[in-house]
Amino acid sequence: MLAYTLFNGDDLDFAYDSISVFSSRKDNQDAVFGAGEGLKDTN
Task: Supply the pLDDT for residue 6.
Answer: 63
Averaged pLDDT for residues 18-43: 56
Quote the pTM value: 0.26
Averaged pLDDT for residues 26-40: 56
User: Would you give the distance in Å from CA 32 to the centre of its chain?
Assistant: 10
- Whether residue 26 is contained in a domain is answered as yes
How far lies 22's CA from each of 2, 3, 17, 28, in Å? 26, 25, 6, 9
Q: Is 14 helix (H, G, I), strand (E, B) or coil?
A: helix
> Sorting pLDDT into bands at 50, 70 and 90, what band is 19?
low
- Whether residue 25 is contained in a domain is answered as yes
Q: For residue 9, is pLDDT > 60?
A: yes
21: domain range? 9-34
Number of domains observed in the structure of the chain: 1
- Rounded to whole angstroms, the Cα distance separating 22 from 43 reads 14
Task: Supply the pLDDT for residue 14.
Answer: 72
- Whether residue 18 is contained in a domain is answered as yes
- Whether residue 17 is contained in a domain is answered as yes
